[in-house]
Structure 1
């Protein structure tokens, strides 16, 4: 019984340490997520990458419209002369997010010739990998990322891991459930960093 009790105590101690480490990580990373959001500004670049969000019945969702309105400003302020619109087609939708983005931006006066459509992505990493392929094809080396502020840090880390020189022009609108989005981003960053280490160790 004493041996069993010692094992239980060790297990509880390990669990407590794990909880403390997780709490410290999420506390630190939450601060970084919010800091990057508040301090990020786009700089003149070869192109902009507009990361997709939901499209509903061929129209941009409120979240996607927020990103697109920032993209219009990026173009008008001459931060980028070409915009890469990245987002695949969700189940039940006739148009991809990228095509919906293009339609909206054209309606706002952005020339179709300035828009490059990438419609095969279903995650942030796929957005950036496929956009990087377009950048390589067009000879672009730097990009302004257009996304929501809470997403800016993770998107930047992923882009830089692909060799993209980036700045971020974030949506500054604060979501009602900000804590949820920040914690989700912290978890996403942790997963990305662990996966990056795994790839490095395996040489893939």
Structure 2
């Protein structure tokens, strides 16, 4: 009635069936997530990495028996296999820690933005597919509208150049959206040349200086929640000493992909010394 060690090792299909099922389901979800978002034209590390992980999990789970048979032939392959899983789990833990720290920072930023007597609000651009603000950009603009309502004397700068394949600038599309939502046209300043966060902030400065404001004026930089930490660091590096950032919620369908993308972007910026 007892199973020997040899018999147990010869029946890998019977080991941890619930774990294998969980891996297969997780892989299917990650793969579907990546494929759906890529079909929408979204390609980033936050999209392709989950898709690749999902494909790998599905393949490894589906081919578990022959893979286990091959790995069992040599001790070094088993050790390498285990080390690979340990590294993967360590990476997952690092992503979870990053997300937790980022969520806390976003909450602190938004609380601080409500306590500052703002003189200006800079809205960073994002995608404008078919000449319309993307869901993420609409969330940023709606966040800016909230701040503008609370600070009626603050100028609102919408910043962004022309998207690839587009003819209208992000700044113009963002300005049109705010005007359509009832914001007074005379308080909207449009910056229409920038193609990055740093250029958003640099090119917005002359518009603010023309209104008597500068790097030391209290202002809010509005961006998506996942982007707040990097945006604040870039603003500080440029010289915006009194700026605060306000994070708009990322649409749910893209939220975890965007936060994963920010994990890689933050790591890359840190390695390259950009922030």
Query: Given the two structures, how large is their TM-score scaled by the length of structure 1?
Result: 0.76
Between the aligned partners of 2:192 and 2:185, the Cα distance in structure 1 is 16
- How much has 1:144 moved relative to structure 2? 0.5
Counterparts in 2 of 1:108 and 1:21: CA distance versus 1, 3 Å? same
Match of 2:247 in 1: 170
Between the aligned partners of 1:178 and 1:188, the Cα distance in structure 2 is 15
Match of 1:111 in 2: 184
The number of equivalent residue pairs is 192
Q: Is the 8 A contact 1:40 1:167 kept in 2?
A: yes
Match of 2:194 in 1: 121
Where in structure 2 are the equivalents of 1:1-204 lying within 5 Å?
26-41=95-110, 42=113, 43-78=116-151, 81-137=154-210, 138-140=212-214, 141=216, 142-164=218-240, 165-173=242-250, 175-196=252-273
* Structure with the higher fraction of residues in helix conformation: 2
Between the aligned partners of 2:249 and 2:85, the Cα distance in structure 1 is 37
Q: Is the 8 A contact 2:135 2:251 kept in 1?
A: no
Q: Is the 8 A contact 2:136 2:251 kept in 1?
A: no
Between the aligned partners of 1:185 and 1:83, the Cα distance in structure 2 is 26
- How much has 1:159 moved relative to structure 2? 1.1
Q: Is the 8 A contact 2:162 2:168 kept in 1?
A: yes
**Deviations 1:78-114, CA, capped at 9 Å, x for gaps:** 0761011111111222210100011111122222221
More relative contact order in 1 or in 2 (CA 8 Å, sep 6+)?
1
RMSD, aligned α-carbons: 3.2
Q: Is the 8 A contact 2:226 2:250 kept in 1?
A: no
Counterparts in 2 of 1:80 and 1:161: CA distance versus 1, 3 Å? farther
Counterparts in 2 of 1:17 and 1:46: CA distance versus 1, 3 Å? farther
Gaps of 5+ in 1: 1-14, 200-204
* Structure with the higher fraction of residues in strand conformation: 1
